[in-house]
């Protein structure tokens, strides 16, 4: 592989927002206030499933200090219409019902009304005065129970998509999808060894530390300003305009600094309510969720139940693979079952594949995206089964994966044929890692798993403004969730040939830059990066034109090198190089301001593959698992800013460790969520963990000027299965249901002891 050398790309520079963020100066969603603003609060359903017969808000309205009360009656109903949100498509009829319940409350925590009052205490009092007449209905939480005959039906109008004859059947199954490749019968007939098993996952929350927050300010002439914490200000604008029957140009959304999102801040909750309340009250309204509201009212990831079947020849060639996966969408259709099905076997070159997925509604908050939506759920089953196959074949778990790895030319079961991918390089790096070469200590188990994410492109706009002193403002519309401003500035510095510190990247509001699709799917450094490079190149062309004008030569005779305009050759004339600053200071005399703009739909996202290795110890009495060592290997294309690439890898891994070992939603028999705080929804803390060793593999994406693929999604795909595989190595026990929490694992260990004793 020809190594390109860069001056700025690949270096570890301080981030532009660093000083603001270590001093408390950075303004996150809840840190923004408007003069005279009211406090908005949301009333939430205590029932998992109930008809709403009526809502009486009169007492709340009469309370002094209450300035507005709203229910779904204040928003127009929506037709069935699909719109993109994150990596999933959503139906606006559903979105308006999720934002505020209409005929039915569909989950514990479902918003049913909202108030705006002069103080928080009055707002809370007002909520208590709203009388909702509920008719409580039977509910269903579990995905397989929701599919079962006689299950409570959430939506009378729901029919299963893609199934013939489903038109007349009430159901909770919103859609069935299928991907096939090859011929299953011939696959199974070639198999010497077959593995078949069922697996389940629990829904988990993204767990961003910053709760959702929004401030809306509206004017009498119909203009709206909204400040909020979001992964996509343009998506918020689009949603709010649709839900409130407004035009997008009437709504200006300014994204605050964002305190984590991981996919969960790609949709709207309080934003349209704040706007509506502000319109009714004639004053700015601020809505900040409590942590309890985040858990009860915002979207977790989908859970899944699945059956996996694999067949292989004696020498370890996988010849057939089957997956049937049911995914829990929450109260409205839209589980990431498509990506789950597509990612499931994408790491492997298998001739015969059959994947069937179901999108199932149940009485839980509507799911939102969470890092590589769908892929980790499928990987839990598939990657566990791969190890079961390795055990049966007596093969090394990594060797089996290397033998079957997807390579250049592998045709996926969902369509595309891979080119230029790094699966094999990633597995080799894992095999040669210091970690894999180190023998286990007594009692430890080692687990490996791999993961895949497409990475996405989509729409981005960027602008590059050259100041009169030759410094540059770089404007994008992609909220910076993990250091992307630094990466964008590095690429701009590389293009311009100027010091990174001379470039100031900012994230603009919806009125100050062209459309940008949201930050998600690992697209920003790839797609917005492409727009930035293109905008900078346009500015460079203008800089060359100005130098040409000053030198009175053709623009083709001027090149841009090391931050200066230079003559293309000695025949052009004897001109001293003109620096960016020298050209900028004369801009007024040579034609006016010097800017570059770009807008594009980024094509050619490079698929990302990763492999992870875990060593664990298991306390045989308590079932407590300790991760002793963890290595994360991933092909990222090019690491523009290695620190933030490593950070994405480490952060994704640790979220995966939480998903594997602890995190779950606990419901009581009324369908109410019982663990609505961080004490009981236990995410990993510093003392639970070892250092996370990153190994960055760089197989450049040929479709990006700097070879970027994207980083943030893949790291959360392998951990659950890799840890399950490590636990199997340490204990001989195969866990099939997440999380592998101490009570579950110790019960499994006890059961194994009993059956061993019985065998003796």
Let me know: does 452 contact 522? Beta carbons within 8 Å: no
90-94 contacts at long range (C-beta below 8 A, 24 or more positions apart)? 90/267, 90/332, 90/334, 91/332, 91/333, 91/334, 92/242, 92/243, 94/332, 94/333, 94/334, 94/366
Our CB check for other proteins shows the closer of 27 and 624 to be 27
Question: Is residue 130 within 8 Å of 55, Cβ to Cβ?
Answer: yes
The Cβ of residue 524 has, within 10 Å, a number of other Cβ atoms equal to 30
**Residue 27 binds which entry of ligand FES, other proteins, none, CB below 5-8 Å type-dependent:** other proteins
Residues belonging to the chain: 760
* Residue 437 contact, options ligand FES, other proteins, none, Cβ 5-8 Å cut-off depending on partner type: none
User: Which ranges constitute the DSSP H helices of 325-366?
Assistant: 337-344
Given 1, 22, 757, 758, the residue binding other proteins (CB under 8 A): 22
* Chosen residue from 4, 12, 161, 441 binding other proteins by CB under 8 A: 12
Count the residues of the shown chain that bind other proteins, applying the rule CB under 8 A: 55
14 binds other proteins (CB under 8 A): yes
Taking the complex as a whole, how short is the minimal distance between the CB of residue 239 and other proteins, in angstroms?
22
Q: Decide which of ligand FES, other proteins, none touches 419; Cβ closer than 5 to 8 Å per partner kind.
A: none
Catalytic site residue 247?
Answer: no
Which positions from 54 through 113 interact with other proteins, judged by CB under 8 A?
A: none
CA distance 138 to 454: 39
Determine how many CB atoms are found less than 10 A away from the CB of residue 489.
25
Residue 24 contact among other proteins, ligand FES, none, beta carbon within 5 to 8 Å by kind: other proteins
What one-character DSSP code corresponds to residue 100?
S
For position 18 contacting ligand FES by CB under 6 A, the verdict is no
Which residue's CB is nearer to ligand FES, number 134 or number 208? 208
- In the complex with other proteins, the residue whose CB is nearer, 171 or 206, is 206
Which residue's CB is nearer to ligand FES, number 209 or number 754?
209
Q: Which stretch binds other proteins (CB under 8 A): 15-23, 180-188, 559-567, 734-742?
A: 15-23
Q: Rounded to the nearest 5 degrees, what angle is found at the Cα of 593, between the Cα atoms of 590 and 594?
A: 90
Q: Which residue is nearest to ligand FES (CB)?
A: 209
DSSP annotation of 250 reads: G
- Show Cβ contacts of residue 609 under 8 Å, excluding neighbours closer than 6 positions: 347, 406, 421, 422, 423, 426, 450, 451, 452, 634, 635, 714
- Output the smallest distance, CB 260 to ligand FES, in A: 5
Min CB(265)–ligand FES separation in Å: 12
Would you give the binding string for ligand FES spanning residues 550-589, x where CB under 6 A is met? ----------------------------------------
Report the residue from 128, 148, 170, 209 that binds ligand FES according to the rule CB under 6 A. 209
> Is 644 near other proteins (CB under 8 A)?
yes
Query: Which residues have a Cβ under 8 Å from the Cβ of 408 and sit 6 or more positions away?
Result: 418, 419, 420, 421
Structural contact between residues 454 and 605, judged by C-beta atoms closer than 8 angstroms: yes
Please give the residues from 710 up to 729 whose contact with ligand FES meets the rule CB under 6 A.
Answer: none
DSSP secondary structure letters along 432-463: TSHHHHSPPPTT-EEEEEEEEE----EEEEEE
List Cα–Cα distances, 503 to 480, 579, 707, in angstroms. 16, 15, 21
Q: Are 694 and 650 in contact (CB under 8 A)?
A: yes
The 3 state secondary structure assigned to 259-325 is CCCCCCCCCCCHHHHHHHHHHHHCCCEEEECCHHHHHHHCCCCCCEEEEEEEEECCCCCEEEEEEEE
Q: Which of residues 207-246 bind other proteins (CB under 8 A)?
A: 207-211
Which is nearer to ligand FES, 678 or 743 (by Cβ)? 678
Residue 25 touches which member of other proteins, ligand FES, none, C-beta under 5-8 Å by kind: other proteins
Q: Any contact of residue 685 with ligand FES (CB under 6 A)?
A: no
Tell me the closest approach of the beta carbon of residue 31 to ligand FES, in angstroms: 14
Coil, helix or strand at residue 534:
helix
In sequence order, the β-bridge partners of residue 85 are: 88
List binders of other proteins among 180-209 (CB under 8 A): 206-209
Q: Pattern 110-129, binding to other proteins, x per CB under 8 A?
A: -----------x--------
Question: Which one is catalytic: 156, 257, 713, 756?
Answer: 713
Number of residues that bind ligand FES (CB under 6 A): 2
Cβ neighbourhood burial of 108 (10 Å; 0-12, 13-18, 19+): buried
Binds other proteins by CB under 8 A, chosen from 482, 521, 606, 707 = 482
Q: Which is nearer to other proteins, 333 or 376 (CB)?
A: 376
Among other proteins, ligand FES, none, residue 17 binds (CB under 5-8 Å by kind)? other proteins
- Tokens standing for 121? 């205490």
Q: Are strands 131-136 and 50-56 parallel, antiparallel or unpaired?
A: antiparallel
Minimum gap (Å) between residue 21 Cβ and other proteins: 3
Question: Do residues 456 and 336 make contact, with C-beta atoms less than 8 angstroms apart?
Answer: no
Report if residue 260 touches ligand FES, rule: CB under 6 A.
Answer: yes
Query: Shortest gap between Cβ of 222 and other proteins (angstroms)?
Result: 30
Beta partners for residue 463, in sequence order: 475, 597
Which residues does the annotation mark as catalytic?
713
Contact positions toward ligand FES, by CB under 6 A? 209, 260
Contact positions toward other proteins, by CB under 8 A? 12, 14-15, 17-19, 21-28, 30-31, 121, 206-211, 257-262, 290-291, 481-483, 643-644, 646-648, 650-655, 677-679, 683, 685-687, 689, 691-692
């Amino acid at each position: 592989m020809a190594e390109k050398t860069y001056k700025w790309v690949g270096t570890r520079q301080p981030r532009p927002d660093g000083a603001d963020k270590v001093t408390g100066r950075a303004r996150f969603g809840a840190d923004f206030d408007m003069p005279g603003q009211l406090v908005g609060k949301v009333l939430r359903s205590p029932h998992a499933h109930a008809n709403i017969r009526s809502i009486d808000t009169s007492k709340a309205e009469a309370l002094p200090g209450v300035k507005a009360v709203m229910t779904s009656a204040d928003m127009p109903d929506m037709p069935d219409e699909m719109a993109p949100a994150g990596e999933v498509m959503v139906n606006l009829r559903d979105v308006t019902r999720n934002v505020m319940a209409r005929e039915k409350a569909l989950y514990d925590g479902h918003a049913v009304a909202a108030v705006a009052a002069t103080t928080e205490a009055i707002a809370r009092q007002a909520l208590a005065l709203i009388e909702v007449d509920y008719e409580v209905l039977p509910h269903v939480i579990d995905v397989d129970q929701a599919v079962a005959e006689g299950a409570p039906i959430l939506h009378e109008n729901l029919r299963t998509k893609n199934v013939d004859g489903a038109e007349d059947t009430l159901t909770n199954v919103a859609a069935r999808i299928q991907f096939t490749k090859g011929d299953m019968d011939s696959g199974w007939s070639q198999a010497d060894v077959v593995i078949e098993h069922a697996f389940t996952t629990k829904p988990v929350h993204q767990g961003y530390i910053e709760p959702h927050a929004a401030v809306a300010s509206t004017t009498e002439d119909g203009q709206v300003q909204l400040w909020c914490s979001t992964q996509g200000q343009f998506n918020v604008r689009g949603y709010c305009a649709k839900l409130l029957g407004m035009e997008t140009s009437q709504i200006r959304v300014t994204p605050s600094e964002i305190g984590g999102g991981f996919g969960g801040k790609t949709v709207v909750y309080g934003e349209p309510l704040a706007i509506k309340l502000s319109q009714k009250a004639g004053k700015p309204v601020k809505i900040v969720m409590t942590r309890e509201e985040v858990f009860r009212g915002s979207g977790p990831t989908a859970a899944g139940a699945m059956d996996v079947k694999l067949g292989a020849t004696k020498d370890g060639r996988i010849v057939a693979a089957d997956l049937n996966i049911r995914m829990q969408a929450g109260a409205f259709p839209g589980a990431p079952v498509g990506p789950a099905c597509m990612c499931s076997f994408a790491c492997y070159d298998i001739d015969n594949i059959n994947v069937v997925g179901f999108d199932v509604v149940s009485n839980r908050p509507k799911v939102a995206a969470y890092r590589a939506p769908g892929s980790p759920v499928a990987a839990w089953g598939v990657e566990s089964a791969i190890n079961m196959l390795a055990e049966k074949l007596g093969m090394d778990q990594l060797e089996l994966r290397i033998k079957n790895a997807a390579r250049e030319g592998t045709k996926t079961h969902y369509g595309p044929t891979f080119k230029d991918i790094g699966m094999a390089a990633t597995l080799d790096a894992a095999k040669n890692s210091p970690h894999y070469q180190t023998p286990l200590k007594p009692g430890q188990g080692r687990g490996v798993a791999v993961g895949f994410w497409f990475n996405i492109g989509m729409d981005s706009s960027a602008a590059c403004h050259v100041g009169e002193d030759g410094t540059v403002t770089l404007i994008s519309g992609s909220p910076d969730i993990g250091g992307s401003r630094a990466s964008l500035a590095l690429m701009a510095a590389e293009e311009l040939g100027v010091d990174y510190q001379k470039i100031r990247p900012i994230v603009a509001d919806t009125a100050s830059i062209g459309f940008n699709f949201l930050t998600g799917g690992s697209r920003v450094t790839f797609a917005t990066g492409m727009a930035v490079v293109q905008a900078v190149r346009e500015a460079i062309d203008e800089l060359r034109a100005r130098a040409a004008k000053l030198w009175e030569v053709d623009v083709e005779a001027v090149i841009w090198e090391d931050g200066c305009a230079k003559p293309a050759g000695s025949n052009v004339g004897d001109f001293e190089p003109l620096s960016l600053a020298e050209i900028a200071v004369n801009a007024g005399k040579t034609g006016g301001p010097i800017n570059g703009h770009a807008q594009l739909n980024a094509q050619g996202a490079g698929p990302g593959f990763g492999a992870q290795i875990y060593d664990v110890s298991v306390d045989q009495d308590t079932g407590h698992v300790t991760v002793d060592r963890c290595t994360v290997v991933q092909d990222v294309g090019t690491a523009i800013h290695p620190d933030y690439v490593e950070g994405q890898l480490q952060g994704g891994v640790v979220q995966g460790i939480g998903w594997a070992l602890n995190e779950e939603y606990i419901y009581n028999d009324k369908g109410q969520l019982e663990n609505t705080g961080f004490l009981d929804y236990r995410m990993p803390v510093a003392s639970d963990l070892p250092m996370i060793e990153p190994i960055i593999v760089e197989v450049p994406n040929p479709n990006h000027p700097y070879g970027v693929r994207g980083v943030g999604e893949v790291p959360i795909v392998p951990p659950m299965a890799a840890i399950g595989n490590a636990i199997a190595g340490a204990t001989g026990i195969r866990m099939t249901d997440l999380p592998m929490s101490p009570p579950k694992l110790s019960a499994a260990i006890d059961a194994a002891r009993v059956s061993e004793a019985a065998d003796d």
